[in-house]
Amino acid sequence: MRILVTGGAGYIGSATTAHLLAAGHDVTVYDNLYRGHRGAVPGDAEFIQGDTGSSGSLDFLFQTHDFDAVVHFAALIEAGESMQQPAKYIHANVVNTSVLLAKMNHYGVNKLVFSSTAAVFAGQDTPLREDDPIGPNNLYGETKLMIERIIGWYHQLCDLRYAVLRYFNACGAMVDEKGTAIRGEDHTPETHLIPLTLQVPLGKRSHISIFGTDYPTRDGTCVRDYIHIDDLAQAHVLAVEALDDRAAMTYNLGNGRGYTVREVIETAREVTGHEISAIEVERRPGDAPSLVASSEKIIRELGWNPQHPDLDDIIQSAWAWHKSHPDGYGDKNRNT
Ligand SMILES: NC(=O)c1ccc[n+]([C@@H]2O[C@H](COP(=O)([O-])OP(=O)(O)OC[C@H]3O[C@@H](n4cnc5c(N)ncnc54)[C@H](O)[C@@H]3O)[C@@H](O)[C@H]2O)c1
């Protein structure tokens, strides 16, 4: 297939691009590099710098390419920032995606894989199935839910075929057959627990903060489900290829096992051999106590078969990436 990957210079988009290419697809990455890295884009993919909100750039893109499908990652992703800058998030996620969907419809591209999130759920103690109660705790999750609903209307009214993939916590790094970490996490700002924790042994921060120790969980800290980017990327390959047979799919993507913040930090201590100092602070607004996925549906329907479910394995790969790339992709002069 000829596939447009928006946000393909980002963490998950670049890994997915590599997996799509390996599966024999042609990929064009479209990214404004606001948060992504040119160096993360696999060499065999075409790269075009542009914004999903730019009507003129999208016209050029769709007029000069004949895409079979769009895999749409481009978004702003920070839940905390979304609570402080609501207009920015509504524009970046909802408005820009609306422009993209209108162009897809106009140019007759009717297959979409969309990056949604566990943050659309209210959260509960047991693994979340796709039909469990939604109720975002933050505006970031709300923007993704709004987009899911808009996609639903395009499906109903304009024959858009879609796969909505709700990821839980993406993490880890791609490691090649020689054991070299080749693609990993480099967000600016970084707010994810594993890379922040690994910054302590790298000497980039003195400690890791634990936000809230009075949640109703087994050790009082938040519980999350961690999914390796290779497994996440593979799910996209399955989903985009399934769009010929299935017109409307929504899947949760996680490992079905939750780890507390303290457990993640402890595993990072074991992997790195470093006494990572942790400081307990107040809760942050917008954090659900527990978000763990049931991914039985995508396993059953698409045969998804995660290869890296162990937290230890995930943190090993992340550590290999951060040790070998202490400055990430090394392009910090971009517009943040
Ligand atoms: N990282 C996670 O744990 C996680 C969890 C759930 C869902 N998601 C979703 O997955 C997707 C990718 O997340 P990520 O961690 O790779 O983030 P990322 O920031 O690394 O990648 C996002 C990419 O989109 C690009 N982008 C942003 N706005 C754009 C625009 N208007 N036009 C063109 N490009 C634009 C950025 O430059 C960046 O390269 C996002 O949609 C995010 O909401 C991520």
Give the pLDDT of residue 286.
Answer: 78
Q: Are 269 and 276 in contact (CB under 8 A)?
A: yes
pLDDT in tens, the chain (336 residues): 999 999 999 999 999 999 999 999 999 999 999 999 999 999 999 999 999 999 999 999 999 999 999 999 999 999 989 999 999 999 999 999 999 999 999 999 999 999 999 999 998 889 999 999 999 999 999 999 999 999 999 999 999 999 999 999 999 999 998 989 999 999 998 999 999 999 999 999 999 999 999 999 999 999 999 999 999 999 999 999 999 999 999 999 999 999 999 999 999 999 999 999 999 999 988 788 999 999 999 999 999 999 999 999 999 999 999 999 999 998 864 544
Whole-number Å distance, alpha carbon 214 to ligand 1 midpoint, is: 31
Question: What residues does each domain of the chain span?
Answer: 2-171+227-253, 174-223+257-324
| Residue 36 near ligand 1, beta carbon < 6 Å | yes
Q: Tell me, what's the pLDDT at 93?
A: 98
CA of 324 to the centre of ligand 1 (A): 23
Ligand 1, atom 43, lies closest to the CA of 77
Q: Please list, in sequence order, all residues whose beta carbon lies within 8 angstroms of the beta carbon of residue 305, skipping any fewer than 6 positions away.
A: 234, 299
Q: Could you say which architecture CATH assigns to the domain 174-223+257-324?
A: Alpha-Beta Complex (3.90)
Q: Whole-angstrom Cα distance, residue 105 to residue 257?
A: 38
User: Ligand 1 centroid vs 10 CA: distance in angstroms?
Assistant: 6
pLDDT value of position 334: 52
Which CATH code for domain 2-171+227-253?
3.40.50.720
Q: Count of CB atoms within 10 A of residue 301's CB?
A: 13
Q: What is the pLDDT of residue 332?
A: 65
Which two three-digit tokens encode residue 101?
Answer: 């969907």
pLDDT value at position 335?
A: 47
Beta bridge partners of 70: 4, 112
Pocket test for ligand 1, best of 4, 5, 6, 11 (most atoms within 8 A of CB): 11
Question: Ligand 1 in contact with 73 (CB < 6 A)?
Answer: yes
Model-level pTM?
0.96
Q: Tell me how far the alpha carbon of residue 274 lies from the centroid of ligand 1, in angstroms.
A: 30
Q: How many angstroms separate the Cα of 21 from the Cα of each of 2, 257, 277?
A: 10, 30, 41
Q: Give catalytic residues, as residue numbers.
A: 140
Residue type, 267: T
- Residue 203: count other Cβ atoms within 10 Å of its Cβ: 9
185 in ligand 1 pocket by Cβ < 6 Å?
no
The reported pLDDT for the residue numbered 285 is: 83
Pairing verdict, β 174-175 and 248-253? unpaired
